[in-house]
Structure 1
Amino acid sequence: MNPFEKIFNYRVISRMEDTGVFLSTSHERSWLKLMLGHPSAAEAFSGVTLDKLRSLVEQEEAMEIAEDLIHKAPATEVQVYHPLVRVLRRSIQHHQGIQVSFVLTNGQPGPEQSGLPYRLEYSMVKKEWYLLWYSWTRRDFMSIRLQKIAAVCEIPASPELVRTTQAEIQRILESRRQSVVIEVLPGYNKELSRILYAFSCFEKEVRYDEEKDTYFISLTYLGNEGEYVLSKMRFLGKRVRIVEGNWLKKRMRESALKALALYQASPDQTRPGQE
């Protein structure tokens, strides 16, 4: 097998995932060993998990980056890991309710609210953690930055309350969901992993058409995330094409026409070098 097959062969990866097998390269294991030596690793993982990860990479050599990277004129460092992540992750896994106190604009803690945590998300753009949760106090599904949480603690919740809340969360999410089908142009099949990484934060399914040698990505996203999906489509450029999803097609045409107008061009204008 091509040693770089892991990078772009989605079919091989998906079949191994179905059997519970995870592929890793020596480069990835060396990087993991280096990261486990960072002081924040002790906060990010429980003691048992941290010991197990370290034992798995014990025979690997830690990646040497001292001579390869130069750190110059850094901006204010942002801590990628937030101390509340472990607390909230445990509550989500155990289906426990939480009681939350938020930080007000004057810096003082506000009134407490109770609810059920649903999911943790990290914004690569804003470099912040967000909690998606259902507030029993407000009876609404909400998103809150972890930086705005002054304190959080677990509270008991009956199984019936948890089930009804989870059902309500799913109902709300279904009402907000949008879908689109994206075609990967065959000439860029080897970049499938890169393309999937661009949509890594969304629910997706990949279908391969053997006759056309073409991958189709069925993407599901919330309505307020449409512009973000659009930005990813622009980033990927000619590698992908929207085949289903009228709203996204319309927005892509609008943005393309605005760009052409900005540069005083027209859609049918002759390209440089063509007659």
Structure 2
Amino acid sequence: MAYAPIFHELHSDLFLALCRIINAIASGERMTRTDILQQLPNLDWGSLERANELIDTIFLFQPDGTAELFLNKAIAPRATTVEVSWLRAMLEDPGAAFLLSADLREKLLQKLAAIPEWPREIWQIVQEQGDDRTALQARLATIWQALREKHQLAYANRDSRGNLHEGICSPCRLEYDAVANRFYLIIWQEEEARAIKMRVASLESVQCLDAPIPAGTEEAFQQFLASRRQSVTLRIERRNNAVERCFMMFASYDKEASYDEETDTYTIQLYYYDFDRHEILQQILSLGAAATVLAPADMREAIIERLQAAWHSMGNVSVNKEG
């Protein structure tokens, strides 16, 4: 689970930083020149002179060093043309219908009628077949409602082994894997004091209840995440597009990577939570012999066990066919 603002690279870091500073001061926060300098992005000013010149054109300073605004008013967020074009495309996408009510969607589309359409023809979608997003709209809308209103869910989920699990839970996150084109619901089970991740497509029923999510659930969830963060280190060889596939598959995870020119291999360290372990294992296996697990040992052993089980299964199939 890695989070990043949409289109963050299309904005000016300096502009956004100044907006944050101005809005903080407008809301009553006391800031000095030093505070402002510390919050400006790491730019190659050459010297502090240029940075101070910029600060002096935007802020006034009281005798005690506190910054004030020429006009004591916050700056409203401004969207770029690219962002509003993306918004129109999202509103027109039936797979995203669950995010907004039909009335609000129609009003927004009317407001955006003059906005240029998103240039879909220049984009190539590279993802697995995954979920039928249109078929999941009712389930997604219910989950989204529960998250918005902070209400609990009653659910029935059938796992990969065919076992049915039913219960009442507190929803924590609705996650979308853009590469796999799959939706996941992450819930908090208070009785077991743990988080569980399940595919939305595997939910046979889901209902938003009147009962609110208990106080302290988010804090407990965050503590759980902090204590369950794990990592795996892989060496990836350049064959069968393994490098490209690896970076695409693990795009949603926090990671660090380095390249060894002598061996022409990549070393990648991925960070994940224990409820992502099964998914991580499957993705590593899909890379085949081009991927080697360097650490930890238990992850390497889990990969070996699955390969041996697959090998024995293939052997049994061959024996049965011969018999």
TM-score, normalising length: structure 2? 0.47
Q: Displacement of 1:32 after TM fit?
A: 9.4
Indicate which of 112, 115, 121 corresponds to 2:175: 121
2:187 is aligned to 133
Residue range with higher mean Cα deviation, 78-87 or 53-62: 53-62
Mapped partners of 2:7, 2:119: distance in 1: 29
For these two proteins, the number of residue pairs brought into alignment is 213
Mapped partners of 2:94, 2:270: distance in 1: 37
* Contact 2:256 2:269 (C-alpha < 8 Å) held by counterparts: yes
Mapped partners of 1:39, 1:167: distance in 2: 34
Mapped partners of 1:52, 1:252: distance in 2: 53
Q: Displacement of 1:253 after TM fit?
A: 2.5
Query: Per-residue displacement from partner, 1:84-106 (whole Å, max 9, x unpaired)?
Result: 24324435xxxxx423345699x
Q: Classify 1:204/1:257 alpha carbon distance in 2 versus 1 (closer, same or farther; 3 Å).
A: same
Structure having the higher Rg? 2
Indicate which of 112, 124, 136 corresponds to 1:80: 136
Indicate which of 4, 9, 22 corresponds to 1:21: 9
1:170 pairs with 2:225: no
Query: Per-residue displacement from partner, 1:19-43 (whole Å, max 9, x unpaired)?
Result: 92159xxxxxx99977754445443
Q: Classify 1:121/1:17 alpha carbon distance in 2 versus 1 (closer, same or farther; 3 Å).
A: closer
Indicate which of 240, 254, 257 corresponds to 1:204: 254
Query: Per-residue displacement from partner, 1:3-57 (whole Å, max 9, x unpaired)?
Result: xxxxxxxxxxxxx98992159xxxxxx9997775444544334647964996697
1:148 pairs with 2:212: no
Q: CA RMSD in A?
A: 5.1
What is the one-letter code of the residue matched to 1:168?
A: A
Q: Classify 1:211/1:172 alpha carbon distance in 2 versus 1 (closer, same or farther; 3 Å).
A: same
What is the one-letter code of the residue matched to 2:193?
A: D
Matches within 5 A, 1:83-122: 83-91=141-149, 97-102=150-155, 115=170, 117-121=171-175
What is the one-letter code of the residue matched to 1:21?
A: E
Q: Displacement of 1:181 after TM fit?
A: 0.6
Q: Displacement of 1:211 after TM fit?
A: 5.0
Mapped partners of 1:56, 1:181: distance in 2: 49
What is the one-letter code of the residue matched to 2:230?
A: Q
Q: Which runs of 5+ in 1 are unaligned?
A: 1-15, 24-29, 64-75, 92-96, 265-275
1:238 pairs with 2:226: no
Matches within 5 A, 1:214-253: 214-223=265-274, 225-253=276-304
